[in-house]
Amino acid sequence: MQVERKSESALSDVGAWGMNVISSVGIIMANKQLMSSGGYAFSFATTLTGFHFAVTAVVGMISNAAGLSAPKQVPFWELLWFSIVANMSITGMNFSLMLNSVGFYQISKLSMIPVVCVMEWILHSKRYTNEVKMSVVIVVIGVGVCTVTDVHVNAKGFMCACVAVLSTSLQQISIGSLQKKYSIGSFELLSKTAPIQAASLLVFGPIVDYYLSSKLIFRYDFTSGALIFILLSCSLAVFCNVSQYLCIGRFSAVSFQVLGHMKTVCVLILGWLLFDSALTAKNILGMIVAVVGMVVYSWAVEVEKNAITKPLAKTSMSEEEFRLMESMDSDP
């Protein structure tokens, strides 16, 4: 029975992670076609994210109305705080990409792994084994070799990158903390935060996008093709958001960041296959190193789990033996 439960749990973990990777890569491909100058030139990333959360909120309301999910109580101020942090993450990432070079933008994203580790150590007193630290370094090096090209830094871009990294790290840690604190499922938590994020992003998103692109969304020509890709992007965003909450609830923010770089590898490969992007020997070497790092990280986490469970199993067995001895002594 215990073996069956473990296999079912492992299968659920793989399913959640597979959903996240497939939906994340799919939404990147859809957004590339939607937002590129060679596609539909829809350059309103923040407002598009507002559309994503609006559709997610509608799906959550339908699920609650149909009884497919059970709504639970979470204080509004905590939901509001989380939504503010999440929106700061989205806006910070957009500004960081606009103000910084692609190389520095990638470095700032890589820095989320050590930042999440430090924040979990400060907030939750979490410690990591040497094996986990080593695997994180390998993943960072591999993804860095894959993605980092030119690196130019400026004061405004650096500040935006700092805001983006800190808010994204705090958001991912908060997802797991809220789920544990209020015993709430991933989809239930998402359905509570999505309406707040959607409302704020749809109000302030067009302003942010105008500052980023000097274009007004109200003057955009919504062709049938653009609408189809917007709907596709929103549909994939629902699966992406749900799977992100599922993964962080099941794993940890650090695991989500480390294994999440598998999406970077997939995007590079698909970009080469579908959009004729260059794939150099440097990219391939970086991808191999990154994948090795992810395998090492999975092994390190398993070693850490075994190190924790073995003393617990020994203690349990000693108590059982002690009780057995007591029962034998009490028998006539």
| Angle of the 253-274 helix axis to the 224-250 helix axis, nearest 10 | 150
The whole-number pLDDT of residue 197 equals 93
Q: Which helix (H) or strand (E) element contains residue 121?
A: helix 112-124
Q: Which residues have a Cβ under 8 Å from the Cβ of 329 and sit 6 or more positions away?
A: none
pLDDT for 314 equals: 43
DSSP code of residue 66: T
Token pair listed for 36: 């590129």
Which residue range is the domain that position 79 belongs to?
1-329
Q: Phi/psi of residue 44, each to 5°?
A: -125, 70
Under 8 Å between Cβ of 239 and 278:
no
Q: How far apart are CA 83 and CA 194, in angstroms?
A: 8
The alpha-helical segments, DSSP class H, found in the chain are: 2-35, 45-65, 76-99, 102-110, 112-124, 130-147, 155-181, 186-213, 224-250, 253-274, 281-330
Give the per-residue pLDDT at 235: 93
Q: Dig out the tokens for 106 from the structure.
A: 């990638």
Evaluate the CA torsion angle 154, 82, 117, 242 in order and state its sign.
negative
Q: What is the pLDDT of residue 328?
A: 44
Burial 59-72 (b: 16+ CB within 10 A, else e): bbeebbeeeebeee
Taking the C-alpha atoms of residue 89 and residue 93, their distance in angstroms, rounded to an integer, is 6
Q: What value does the CA radius of gyration of the chain take, rounded to a whole number of Å?
A: 23
pLDDT reported for residue 330:
45
Which two three-digit tokens encode residue 312? 């617990």
pLDDT at res. 263: 63
pTM of the full structure: 0.69
DSSP assignment of 229-243 equals: HHHHHHHHHHHHHHH
Q: What is the DSSP letter of 39?
A: T
Which of 254, 234, 241 is closest to 298 using CA atoms? 254
Side-chain-facing half-sphere of 221: CA atoms under 13 Å: 4
Residue segments in the chain with a per-residue pLDDT below the cut of 70: 1-11, 13, 70-71, 101-103, 106, 139-140, 143-153, 248-280, 282-283, 287, 290-291, 293-332
SS3 (DSSP) at 133: helix
Please give the tally of structural domains in the chain.
Answer: 1
> CA neighbours within 13 Å on the CB side: how many for 226?
16
CA-based torsion, 165, 248, 251, 256: positive or negative: negative
